[in-house]
Structure 1
């Protein structure tokens, strides 16, 4: 490797590191997380082993025998050094010593047998029934609710408890509270009815907004193309404002227009129309304003790029068209639009991928409402993985949503390249062939 190559790599290393950290690593982690059941309940750094009383009902379904479940639920009683220490702290050393002398090392099947053993104390008897019940609970031997840091610790505990060997593996897997690798996320995406609703919402959102972005952006570019330069620049600056405004401020302006005490309601009140929240009153209203909010942002970008592309077309072609008697519409149709395939391809591809993965304007405007009618796929991924009302954030399922978007975006990009004949766009001019 030459010195010049090493020097070049040295200069490029910050950029390569940034690409690795902020692009490749998130993509790799998304793929990995999509194949896990990682959530708030499992944590992200591994888990412990624990069986709770609520888990007992699901153990038979994962292959744990009824005998083992009954053993876990039965919770026997034993007079051991550990339980005697608890008894001594609560009822005194003398009573603990007498009980150790009478029943040290003994095991009892139920609480009643343990209470009978406590009733045999003579020098310091427990006369009250309530005290005997309280004392009996101190000798209860159970792993329910206990946390074990390692697999070996849990295996030793269930072995000491007497769980049959045939049930230990299934019980250990059921007790693990950490995340594991699984394909269940994609099975859920296929089975859940909400998934198909999110997919349909995404199609509605992308198709309507994309049509508005590209169509209106092209209309603005063509409309200002024939205007004087200073006037055209003024109109473009006005239409570019949605792109440069902070999203929060931009959506707040729309909310001021549409809320029940906003501008639209104030203008319609003299006509006898009752004030309503026009943005969230119905699903149709919500979709209308979502398309307008996102469409104005996308159209401003399309307008700038289309205007630059139009200015790059030689004016001599327009002069020749005028000499041939072409009017403005014929110039647009036969001269300008045929040379706009590449800009239209770029804007269409870029806006499609952007709309598939963006949700911030929907989040700020409707948050998927009313009734999840405007919950698109990307917003569902955000709600699932990072913000939901249930409190259990499902990182793995949210990553599966995101990975599906990546695959869909790649397929759509390939489709666009074929539809717009990308190979012809990048081919050498015929005069050079």
Structure 2
């Protein structure tokens, strides 16, 4: 009965884990094995032969004479064209004259066809009408969209190109505009030259922010406030917690106000003859310093609170005894406080590593990966690729592949940390209780 009750209580949590963690990860994995983009859509595609498709096939050795015929444009008086002209309100007399006298005739170019129309008894009376009539009789596969393979094959057969089965398959595959299953995203990822730079940026960003601020500076703040009077310590912690509770947009905007060429820093340094500049984006070094500080102060506040709680839980008798033995503050920190913080340091290290790997909010709002791509990290690159890039062709599949790599790296890093900090020993039952 107790086991069933436990399952009932844990069921909502399991459902949330599946819904908000496992399902997104699985969907990311699925998307990463496709070439989905704004060009292909996500619901399937159609078939369209374009000049670029013909050029690509020509480069692959496809018969260029056939490609030239496919790419050619002609005008034919057919029932299909006459019906389209009727629906477009082309003059009835003109349509009937074409049907009765010239049905089946073909013209090699638009110019020849329009010359022909000018000679008819019921010819169009204006250039505008003439230009709007001729497209209804255009016969070309170029840029015409086919909803299915059957429609495309039917149009190819009508052109009597004498295609072999292999050539037909190549044309169909090349003209498909929808998404397909592929592992090309991962191959592309490792071949692109910018991947290495983004990887180095990510490693530098995570390591620097983690060691300098999320752990290092957080420990300094926690230890410092521990030795302060309670009132002062509480006020100090509250002030340092402000970066975490401040909305990201406002927080980054304050940093921009500090570093802009018309910001606070320049307002001060110009009094000493320093030339105004954008201290955030003028150089890659300045951009990195700013990005690390912006994220570091947020991470340090969390570490400070956690480390402070852990330090206050250390039995006071240990500290009193060390003072009796003549230990100074540094010796207390080194031999008593730090050894007791192994578990909190493990938690902060794992949590903040995963957080820094996957978060890009502050970088996006401050430098957006600039100047150039000097502060472009992996998570931001995945976002730019899948959801927001300058060229407009959002690559959902490739962006998902980048995100999936982050998931794998995060799991591997967590396992390494657990091994390094000897997690199994940390959770062992104390010997006194055995």
Query: What is the aligned counterpart of 2:33 among 18, 32, 35?
Result: 35
Give, in angstroms, the shift of residue 137 of structure 1.
5.8
* Conserved 8 A contact 2:358-2:379: yes
**Structure-2 separation of matches of 1:257 and 1:132:** 64
Aligned to 2:187: 187
- Sort the Cα spacing of 1:253 and 1:113 in 2 relative to 1 into closer, same or farther, 3 A: closer
- Sort the Cα spacing of 1:129 and 1:403 in 2 relative to 1 into closer, same or farther, 3 A: closer
- Sort the Cα spacing of 1:218 and 1:76 in 2 relative to 1 into closer, same or farther, 3 A: same
**Structure-2 separation of matches of 1:377 and 1:129:** 57
**Structure-2 separation of matches of 1:276 and 1:132:** 61
**Residues 319-339 of structure 1, C-alpha deviations (whole Å, 9 max, x = no match):** 222232221111111111112
* Conserved 8 A contact 1:62-1:170: no
Give, in angstroms, the shift of residue 75 of structure 1.
3.3
**Structure-2 separation of matches of 1:399 and 1:417:** 27
- Sort the Cα spacing of 1:369 and 1:119 in 2 relative to 1 into closer, same or farther, 3 A: closer
CA-atom RMSD, angstroms? 2.9
Q: Describe how 1:14-33 pairs up with structure 2 within 5 A.
A: 14-33=12-31
- Sort the Cα spacing of 1:222 and 1:113 in 2 relative to 1 into closer, same or farther, 3 A: closer
* Conserved 8 A contact 1:208-1:291: yes
- Sort the Cα spacing of 1:128 and 1:11 in 2 relative to 1 into closer, same or farther, 3 A: closer
Aligned to 1:399: 400
Q: Secondary structure at the match of 1:368?
A: coil
Q: Secondary structure at the match of 2:279?
A: coil
| 1:162 matches 2:160 | yes
Unaligned runs of 5+ in 2: none
Aligned to 1:69: 67
Q: Describe how 1:167-246 pairs up with structure 2 within 5 A.
A: 167-212=167-212, 213-246=214-247
Give, in angstroms, the shift of residue 184 of structure 1.
1.4
**Structure-1 separation of matches of 2:27 and 2:253:** 34
* Conserved 8 A contact 1:36-1:180: yes
- Name which of structure 1's ranges 335-344 and 129-138 shifts more when overlaid on structure 2: 129-138
* Conserved 8 A contact 2:71-2:141: no
Aligned to 1:301: 302
Aligned to 1:354: 355
* Conserved 8 A contact 1:64-1:171: no
- Sort the Cα spacing of 1:248 and 1:134 in 2 relative to 1 into closer, same or farther, 3 A: closer
**Structure-2 separation of matches of 1:128 and 1:224:** 88
Aligned to 1:289: 290
**Structure-1 separation of matches of 2:178 and 2:294:** 42
- Sort the Cα spacing of 1:331 and 1:62 in 2 relative to 1 into closer, same or farther, 3 A: same
**Number of aligned positions between the proteins:** 430
**Residues 284-317 of structure 1, C-alpha deviations (whole Å, 9 max, x = no match):** 1111111111111101100000011111111122
Aligned to 1:253: 254
Give, in angstroms, the shift of residue 160 of structure 1.
2.2
Q: Secondary structure at the match of 2:71?
A: helix
**Structure-2 separation of matches of 1:117 and 1:165:** 36
**Structure-1 separation of matches of 2:225 and 2:20:** 39
* Conserved 8 A contact 2:218-2:307: yes
**Structure-1 separation of matches of 2:80 and 2:33:** 43
Give, in angstroms, the shift of residue 36 of structure 1.
0.9
Aligned to 2:81: 83
* Conserved 8 A contact 2:29-2:400: yes
Give, in angstroms, the shift of residue 87 of structure 1.
6.2
- Sort the Cα spacing of 1:127 and 1:45 in 2 relative to 1 into closer, same or farther, 3 A: closer
**Residues 364-417 of structure 1, C-alpha deviations (whole Å, 9 max, x = no match):** 111111112111111111111111111111111111111111111111111111
**Structure-1 separation of matches of 2:79 and 2:275:** 77
Unaligned runs of 5+ in 1: none
**Structure-2 separation of matches of 1:247 and 1:133:** 56
Q: Secondary structure at the match of 2:139?
A: coil
Q: Secondary structure at the match of 1:37?
A: coil
* Conserved 8 A contact 1:265-1:276: yes
Aligned to 1:272: 273
